[in-house]
Each structure stands twice: as C-alpha cells, then as structure tokens.
Structure 1
Amino acid sequence: MNPRLASLLAKIDEYPDVTIVAVSKEVGVQEIRLAYDCGFRHFGENRMQDALAKQDALDLHVSWHFVGRLQTNKVRSAAGRFALYHSLSSLHLAEEMNRIALRTGSCFPCLVQVNASLEQTKQGLALGEVADFLALVSRLPGVRVLGLMTMGPHTEDRLAIRRVFRQVRALYEELRRMPSGEACMQHLSMGMSADYELALDEGATMLRIGSAIFSNLRDNGGRHDGK
C-alpha cells in the first residue's frame, strides 16, 4: 500500500465514527470505481454537470455529496441527487431549495458553511451569524440542516488552523443543545487532505479528502472501510 495512503487510513481508523467523503471532483469514473473497490462509500463533487454525469455512469451503491457552491439555477437538477449539500450559507439559496423541494416532493439535507476566519476568498457565515440563520431556515420545510461545515484558513500556521476548527466545534456543540426544531446537529464536516489530522483532533465527524486518497490510490493493494 502507498505509505501516504496507509498513514491516512491508519490515522482515521482511530476514529471509527468519522465518515470519509472521498472528493472525486478531479477524477473520472475509473478512479471512483477503484476507490469503491478499496471500501470508500461516500463521494464528493463540486460541479453539478460533472456530478450528475458520474452518477449516471456508475451503478454503485454509494452516497453522493455536493461539496461546492450550489448555484440557484442548478437547484432543480440537484433535487434528490445528493445525500448532503455541504455549503449552505445563503437564505436566498435556502428559499430556492425549499421552493423546489415543495414542488418535487423532495428535501435538501444541508450543512451550513461557517467562515470562522472571515477570509474574503471563502463563502460562509461568521460564527455569530449562524444561530440567526438557522432560525430563519427552520421555517423552510424543504430544507433540513444536519450540521456545520468549515474549511481551515489558507495558511501554514497549524495553530491558526486548529483554532478555527476548535471555534467551529464549540459552536457545533452549542447548537446541539438548541431546540431540535431549528437544526439537528449530526455532522461536523471539517478537514481536508492538508489538515485532516487537526480536524480529527478537534472533533470532526466528517472529512472531505481528495488528493490524499486519489493521488495515492493506484498504489493501494488493500481495502478500507470508508464508512
């Protein structure tokens, strides 16, 4: 097995309740099949057209996640096609999801994106905006918030990354104590290929890992429970 992939899987095996989303946005169906054969069962895409094409081309029993920014004009085509939408941070988008859900009899399970570091290049709500946003979205029956998603800041400072993950985890725990009518905090999605170890240490329940899986997968001779 490729040493880097072996190290990743060994680390994740220490956290049996963590779900790995193999972010397959840069690879084709052949690589996804290879990942499936190694035990991965959750796959993440960030472009709607590519995601739907891969879903239609594959006959695998997997869960698809939309990990990119969902545009309002793509909501109809996305309805019912994904187990989880990872980047809700706009009331306008939530209202469009609700409109389509009511028309199609579907539901949009979502994670609210949090931009704890307030980086201008990233989407997401500030920590202090999340509770009010949840109160508004809770009025939309076609949208179900199931947790939070965040990305670590774009920096080499590991302490800064850890601080952001810790802040979002604290918010997640606070929201879990709220009345269940506003949100059901089941998932805390944080941590990617470069910082997943920090995210695990700080309480992530879901990782979004792309290159650390797919760039090493062809050398992998074993299997793994992708949960």
Structure 2
Amino acid sequence: MIAENVKRLRSEIPDYVTIVAASKTRTASEILEILESGLKDVGENYVQEAEGKFEAIGNKARWHCIGHLQRNKVKRAIEIFDIIQTVDSFKLAEEIDKRCSYLSKKMPVMVEVNSGKEENKAGVLPENVLQLITEISPLKNIAVVGLMTMGPFTEDPEEIRPSLRLTRRLFEEISKEKIEGVEMKYLSMGMSNSYRVAIEEGSNMVRLGTIIFGERQ
C-alpha cells in the first residue's frame, strides 16, 4: 500500500517538489518501505521518537525535524537531523549554532512562520520573520535555507490559502534581500489535506503523512 501511495503521489506532484514523509508514530519498517519506494526525505516531530528510528535506519534517509524543537533537545537533535525546519527564535538558533560548532557541522535550517497568527501555534509572526533571519544569518554553523509554515488547521484547504500566499510572499521578499549566508531554496508548505493548494501557492516541499502511510491505528 505504501509503495502504491508513493507511486501515485509522485506521478501527481511535480518533480521539483520534495516530498517529506511525515513519520510521527510510524515504525522503522514502514519508513524503510518509503525508502525502498524511492523517497529519501523523512520528517519527525520529536527527538526522542526519532532516536530509535535513526538507530535502525541511519543515513539511508535524509532526516527533517518538522516539530517544535526545545533547546534542551538540540544536542541530540543535531546528531540525528540533516535539516531543521522549525527555528522560531534567535535563542534556539544560537543553541543549534553552538552545538554544531562542537561537531564542525553546518546545519541547514528553515524559519517557521506562524502564518495564521494563532496564539497556540509555534512559529514567528510574519512581520518578524525578516528581522529573525537577519539576526541568525551571521551565525557560522547555521545556514538559513527557507521558510516553513503549518497554516491554520481546517477541513477545507481553501481556507488556508491566504496564509500560504502570505508565506510565499515573505519567501520572495526575503530572497530579494540577498542576505549574506541566506539561500532561500525551500518553501515547505502543505500536508496531506492541503498539499495541492500549497503547491498552487508556490510550495516546493510538502510534508505528507496519512496520505502515504494510511490512517494511524
């Protein structure tokens, strides 16, 4: 089933769009099926859950941190993840930079945008994104490579289109700033119920879970 789902999605989704398999609560064997089907990018929400899967799978996957990252988990996170999509404060960026310096590692990161301005959501308010990126850019062990957003949760993906459009506009504006050390490559928007709308609005990276793996048990 997983291989068939991946094949169908890959035929539908343009080649320039990276599919990140969102594997929260999924097993290492399910992730291995993903890798065998041709996908390489795997997204995990929690460091502790990612640890066991990383031990089983290792560098066969490209590991994305797609959940809120606490500073006290950064030390382990940078040993697992190849890219962190959810930087939302200078203090978090500073901690990633410090820990990466010990490993002589440069971590690609994205800034998470709270595009719906929701009080209960992580992420930087849209009006503060450029300022945060400007503050982060001098850090030597971090490379800002794009923006990520969740958008408000809704059954109707059309309702989040304005939030996606806002994030796309931010992405383009920051790209034009040509900030040293910043290369805006990835616009990570869209999940299983919203990826079609997200791609229409400019996303080149989608985070898909249920539509790949099926409903959670």
Structure 1 length-normalised TM? 0.87
C-alpha RMSD over aligned residues: 1.9
1:99 equivalent to 2:95? Answer no
Q: Please state whether the residue corresponding to 2:180 is helix, strand or coil.
A: coil
Query: Is 2:113–2:125's contact at 8 Å kept on the other side of the alignment?
Result: yes
Shift of 1:179: 1.9
| Segments of 4+ moved more than 6 angstroms | none
Partner of 2:149: 150
**Quick check: 1:26 aligned with 2:25?**
yes
Work out the CA distance in 1 between the residues paired with 2:205 and 2:10: 14
Structure with the larger RCO, 1 or 2 (CA within 8 Å, 6+ apart)? 1
Q: Is the 8 A contact 2:157 2:193 kept in 1?
A: no
Which residue matches 2:88? Answer: 89
Cα offset, 1:11, TM superposition: 2.2
Partners of 2:78 and 2:211 in 1: how far apart?
30
State the partner residue of 1:57. Answer: 56
Structure 2: 5+ residue stretches without partners: none
2:113 match: 114
C-alpha deviation, 1:62, in angstroms: 1.9
Q: Which residue pairs with 1:215 in the alignment?
A: 214
In structure 2, the partner of 1:11 is 12
Where 1:17 maps in the other structure, the secondary structure is coil
* Correspondence list, 1:50-199, <5 A: 50-58=49-57, 61-199=60-198
Structure 2-normalised TM-score?
0.91
Is the 8 Å Cα contact of residues 107 and 144 (structure 1) preserved in structure 2? yes
Q: Distance in 1 between matches of 2:26 and 2:60?
A: 18
Cα distance in 2, alignment partners of residues 32 and 96 from structure 1: 29
2-structure distance, mates of 1:58, 1:159: 37
Give the paired residue count: 213
Identity rate of aligned residues, in percent? 37
